[in-house]
Every structure is written in structure tokens, then in C-alpha cells.
Chain A
Amino acid sequence: AQSVTQLDSQVPVFEEAPVELRCNYSSSVSVYLFWYVQYPNQGLQLLLKYLSGSTLVESINGFEAEFNKSQTSFHLRKPSVHISDTAEYFCAVSSPGGYQKVTFGTGTKLQVIP
């Protein structure tokens, strides 16, 4: 069985400040890792993913996450946040194979303060 832990339910941060959203996972097999973003009353959008290769992955809007196998973590970071980054962020895990049953964390609400 797989599980994902997002310890921070809410993270307030001032605009242009850096942010880190923490994610730890548990799995007995190899993993794929994801970060999804959900804006109010909308569906989930894939922000970035780790499948294999380089442990540092980046999104087009300045977010990055690093897969750390020894610490079973996949923290999300951004050096300077914008108001438009205010949303809920979900970390998720699945495993290689044609059918990926994705397991989600409970989410972290990022609130960017002007």
C-alpha cells in the first residue's frame, strides 16, 4: 500500500517570498511522484511529475520539486511566489505500470499575502 503525508494543511506566505510545501510518501515499490494544483472550484491540474532520471523536476511557472529517495520526500519549492499561486496543492504517488492508481495527500492550501 502507498500513502502520502502533507503535514502542513495551510501555508501563508508573503508575495515574492520563497515557499516550500512538504510531502513525504510511503511505498514498498518504485514510485512515480506528482504535484497537482487545484484552484477554487476547479479540477486538478498536473503541476509537475517525477517518473525517473533527474531527481529535480521543474514546472513552467517556476515551481520545482526534488525526489529524495533516502528521505522518501518530494517537497515543492518556489523561490518567489505570486498572488496567482494562491491555490491548494496536492502531492500524489503511484507506481509504474499501465494502470496507475494514484494516492493523494490531504493537500496544502497556499495563501499568498500581498
Chain B
Amino acid sequence: NAGVMQNPRHLVRRRGQEARLRCSPMKGHSHVYWYRQLPEEGLKFMVYLQKENIIDESGMPKERFSAEFPKEGPSILRIQQVVRGDSAAYFCASSRADRGDYNEQFFGPGTRLTVL
């Protein structure tokens, strides 16, 4: 059973370009979470999605960032018109559907975005 897959692992963009980060959850998982790790900081929650639904996007910047988790295919985190401050590691995690009080999140290896 493959773990959470993220691609690309490394992404370089120039200011003003778009960045698309992909996350394929573990088999059987229908919940996806995106986190951002800025240099020398911990992970910060960005958004929580279920298939075709955004459940909580309270951690997403109000502009330029969007996320989706379509019925088919991976979850996508999209950053439009990137700026240098977007340079960070972006981690995806997945979990099973709500089962009781605890649903462990399994993390992918991350995508390291560098904005030149």
C-alpha cells in the first residue's frame, strides 16, 4: 500500500508564474490536508478537503491560493502569481473518513517550492 504521494518533489518558479502542487492520498483515504512549512518554522495548516468539497480553508491566504480535490484524480494546491514569500515546503496529509474520535493523518514527502 503506497503512502501519500506528492509531486513534484521540487519546483522552481519565477515571480509571477503559477505553481501547481499535486497530492495523491493513500488508498482508501478520502480526506486531504495541506500544510505549509516556512524556513525555520513548524507546519501551518492551510486547508482541509474531502472529495469535491472544501471543509476548512481557514489557513489559506485570501488571495492567489486555491485548492481542490476532485472526484477523480489527485488533490491540487494552486498558487497563482507566486512571490518570493511563497517559497516553502508544502506537505499534504491524508486520512480515512471520520471514524470515531481519531483519524490519523499520514504525511507525504512534501513539495519544496522555490520562487526566484
Measured CA separation A51–B103 after assembly (Å): 11
Knowing A43-B91, A106-B42, say if A99 contacts B48 (CB, 8 Å): yes
Question: Do the beta carbons of B42 and A104 come within 8 Å of each other?
Answer: yes
Residues of B within 8 A of A9 (CB): 40
A51 engages B102 (CB within 8 Å): yes
At the interface with chain B, which of A55-63, A69-77, A90-98?
A90-98
B→A interface (CB under 8 Å)? 4, 6, 31, 33, 35, 40-45, 48, 55-56, 91, 95, 98-110, 112
Are the CB atoms of A100 and B43 closer together than 8 Å?
A: no
**Which residues does chain B contribute within 8 Å of A45, judged by CB atoms?**
107
- Select one of B43, B100, B105 contacting A90, CB under 8 A: B43
Give per-residue flags for A75-114: 1 if the beta carbon is below 8 A from chain B beta carbons, else 0.
Answer: 0000000000000001000001111111111110000000
Q: Is the interface of A mostly helix, strand, loop or mixed?
A: loop
Q: Does A44 contact B (CB under 8 A)?
A: yes
In the complex, are the beta carbons of A46 and B56 less than 8 A apart? Answer: no
- Taking a contact as CB atoms closer than 8 A, the residue among B33, B40, B101, B110 that contacts A96 in the complex is B101
Bound-state Cα–Cα, A32 to B43, Å: 17
- The answer on a CB contact under 8 Å between B102 and A100 is yes
List A contacts of B110 (CB < 8 A): 42-43
Of the residues A41, A42, A96, A102, contact of B105 by C-beta under 8 Å: A102
Q: Which of B6, B43, B100, B101 contacts A104 (CB 8 A)?
A: B43
Indicate if the CB atoms of B108 and A43 lie closer than 8 Å.
Answer: yes
Pairs across A and B, CB under 8 Å, 13 listed:
A6-B42, A41-B109, A43-B109, A44-B91, A45-B107, A46-B104, A46-B106, A98-B98, A98-B100, A103-B45, A105-B42, A107-B41, A107-B42
CA A107 to CA B43, docked complex, whole Å = 9
Taking a contact as CB atoms under 8 Å apart, the answer to whether B109 and A104 are in contact is no
Partner of B101, one of A6, A36, A97: A97
**B98 proximity list for chain A (CB < 8 A):** 98-99
The 7 closest A-B CB pairs, nearest first, are A98-B98, A104-B42, A96-B101, A43-B107, A43-B109, A44-B107, A106-B42
